[in-house]
Structure 1
Amino acid sequence: SRHFRCFPGQGEMDMAGFLAPILATGYRGPLSLEIFNDGFRAAPPRQNAADGLRSLLYLEEQTRLRLEQEGTSIEPGVLFTPPAASAYDGVEFLEFAVDEAVGARLGSWLKRLGFAEAGKHRSKEVQLLRQGDINIVLNAEPYSFGHNFFEAHGPSLCATALRVKDQQAALKRATAFRGQPFRGLVGPNECEVPAVRAPDGSLLYLVEQGTAGQTLYDTDFSLDKNATATGGLRRIDHMALALPAESLDSWVLFYKSLFDFAADDEVVLPDPYGLVKSRALRSQCGTLRLPLNISENRNTAIAHALSSYRGSGVHHIAFDCDDIFREVARAKLAGVPLLEIPLNYYDDLAARFDFDDEFLSELAYYNVLYDRDAQGGELFHVYTEPFEERFFFEIIQRKGGYAGYGAANVAVRLAAMAKARSGAARKPVL
């Protein structure tokens, strides 16, 4: 079907496995794309052309690697040879575009989640909050990239910093695949961190550890050495994005080519007002996870997010912890607005799993959702209500190697959020 035709690297067909034997026979002619796709016809031609070029470069690289793996030699210069992808080690920081008032409200939310105000930027209106290995930056600096992003999209995630082993190698690879580099204003004695623009115009910073253990926070921020987080959140587990339906393939190709991410199979999830399609990206080491969500229905949660942002935006951010019940108990006492899960969900859990009544009551009291995979891995997770009808946060605990995102619980979460928007609520039971 022409509805599912796409560029190499955007779909699931092993195109390198198709092309490698052809080149092994001695073919050195041109490679071109001829794809009749309804989405391509409706999309901006400049973006289509950029994706087409990037896909051919990616196909050449993957084919060269396949031939090398098979022991087939090919003369230098025939196939694209970019710098190898850098190793990653999770997210260094998340940067939110705010103004002074929004920054105060979001900062209050994060402090109730257990974050500590760890420092302020030496020369900019930028605040740093920390907990575990999580760093969150609130950027309210006037006349900055963050300010322009806030004016265009409102309170939103304007930048994500990837922790890399070699930032210059990572930048060279990104620009080789036609990534657009970005340079911001840097004050005296401050770190200059390379960045590239994501498909939605937000930034992806590339951060490596400084010499002698020194970090960009030491150079750029006045740190409060006495700041202590009150929560036990450890790291960022994943970030989910809400995207326009026509941009999903561009995002997949962007991360696969520039950063050597892998893409999981697409799944379809039920929303009370339509269907949501999700495709998760992840780094080869598994420390970076990025579910991408789209919906062609007008009233789904994804559609509402796109309307609020006036474009793509972060859907939710998940934080990992060691003891979800302890974290949720602390969050409840701190006044974090947690999403209330209907009690009949726990009746369904009782039918699916052999849980005793006491454990089910504990799950219900804390609004914790549960899932188990075929290998016995377990997932416990709980959600906050959305911050100002935009993004929300998830507290998550994985056990036994569970690697999914709780797809079995998406329908109940979306229904609970729709119910919360209507003002209905239920009393927790223990």
Structure 2
Amino acid sequence: MSDLLLQPEHAREPLQDSFSDASNPIGLDGIEFIEYATAKPQALGQVLEMMGFRPVARHRSREVLLYRQGGMNIVVNAHPLDDEGTPLPEAPRIAAVAVRVRDARAAYQYVLERGAWEVPTHPAAMELNIPAIHGVGGSRIFFVDRYREFSIYDVDFVPIPTVDPKPPAVAGIHFFGVVQYIGSGRSYDWIEFYSELFGTALIPDEQRFGIMPAGKLLRAPALQPENRFMLQLIEPDPLARDNSERLQRIGLGVPDVLAAVRALRALGMEFVESPHAHTEQRGAITKTFLGSVVFELVHSEQQA
């Protein structure tokens, strides 16, 4: 965490005046973790293990479990109520995305000055106060700047004994991006939101990735090129009844899609094979589990 989280106001260093790269205004450097909220953590855990993730640590004071493979972290939050007292959903939902930034305090101040909505936090004893803003559909976007030698998990989590804390990634899997469902006619509202706050760039429609080509694609900048990630914005079909906005699924990059599908099938994962969506070297998509959990594989040479 930055000094915002650990020091009183009078002891903090001055805010960083500016970031050196105008194309990366908050010093983004990839995804630190993605959080699911669910009343059925064991069932979700089984799905994550079929995707190659392994439980590595438990939260000190909440019903929260950390899953990991390679450089990816997924947090499963099964705490009975969130900070606003809202009960957990039966079907798992993506409740938060934490992004790595050079300076969490400066990044947080930057986005608030440009209209982002602050999320009040109420950390308990021995918990970090991680700054966050409101995202789509009640989700949150966290800002994390301790992700190298010392990380947020060193404070808030207790390692599970006898478990490898850094399980290797299956078939080179790494975070590729997040798919967001948006309301009808809302594409450019969200394009402006992410561009203004995070410096994302709209990818031309003719440049496509994977096998699910709908919607608008945004590329987030990163301090290290290998840490860049995508956001995909998908409007509903005009005849669809569901017009709700939410984070819908995680995109995972792999250097060899067919090899990754074979490895994940060996772990029990099932993939959609239909005339409209089927496994090929460009990508693959899993079946939907627990009513809402789905992962997309996309060909990407980046190594985890």
TM bucket (normalised to shorter chain) is: 0.7 to 0.9
**Aligned equivalents of 2:162 and 2:122: distance in 1?**
29
Aligned to 2:229: 288
Equivalences, count: 269
Point out 4+ residue stretches in structure 1 off by more than 6 angstroms. none
Aligned to 2:299: 397
More contact order relative to length (CA 8 Å, sep ≥ 6): 2
How far did 1:85 drift?
1.5
The answer on 1:94 being equivalent to 2:34 is: yes
**Aligned equivalents of 2:25 and 2:116: distance in 1?**
14
Aligned to 1:119: 57
How far did 1:129 drift?
0.4
**Aligned equivalents of 1:389 and 1:266: distance in 2?**
30
Q: Tell me which amino acid in the other structure corresponds to 1:368.
A: T
Stretches of structure 1 lacking an aligned partner (at least 5 in a row):
1-81, 270-275, 346-366, 371-379, 402-430
Cα–Cα, structure 1 residues 256 and 116, in superposed 2: closer, same or farther, change >3 Å? same
Aligned to 1:223: 159
**Aligned equivalents of 1:149 and 1:259: distance in 2?**
31
Q: How does 1:216-295 map to 2 (within 5 A)?
A: 216-224=152-160, 226-228=162-164, 229=167, 231-265=170-204, 278-285=215-222, 287-295=228-236
- TM, length-normalised to structure 1: 0.57
**Aligned equivalents of 1:146 and 1:158: distance in 2?**
13
Identity, % of aligned positions? 24
Q: How does 1:30-429 map to 2 (within 5 A)?
A: 85-99=25-39, 101=40, 103-145=41-83, 148=86, 150-151=88-89, 154-209=91-146, 213-224=149-160, 226-228=162-164, 229=167, 231-265=170-204, 278-285=215-222, 287-299=228-240, 306=243, 311-342=244-275, 368-370=279-281, 380-399=282-301
How far did 1:323 drift?
3.7
Q: Tell me which amino acid in the other structure corresponds to 2:233.
A: L
When structure 1 is superposed on structure 2, of 199-208 and 217-226 the one drifting more is 217-226
Cα–Cα, structure 1 residues 391 and 246, in superposed 2: closer, same or farther, change >3 Å? farther
Alignment RMSD, CA only? 2.9
- Helix, strand or coil at the partner of 1:148: coil
How far did 1:288 drift?
2.2
Deviations 1:275-298 (A, max 9, x none): x96111221336121010002422
Is contact 2:136–2:247 with CA below 8 Å preserved after alignment?
Answer: no
Is contact 2:44–2:290 with CA below 8 Å preserved after alignment?
Answer: no
Stretches of structure 2 lacking an aligned partner (at least 5 in a row):
1-21
**Aligned equivalents of 1:321 and 1:146: distance in 2?**
37
If you compute each CA radius of gyration, which structure gives the higher value, 1 or 2? 1
Cα–Cα, structure 1 residues 179 and 315, in superposed 2: closer, same or farther, change >3 Å? same
- TM, length-normalised to structure 2: 0.79
Higher-helix-fraction structure:
1
- Helix, strand or coil at the partner of 2:173: strand
Aligned to 1:72: none
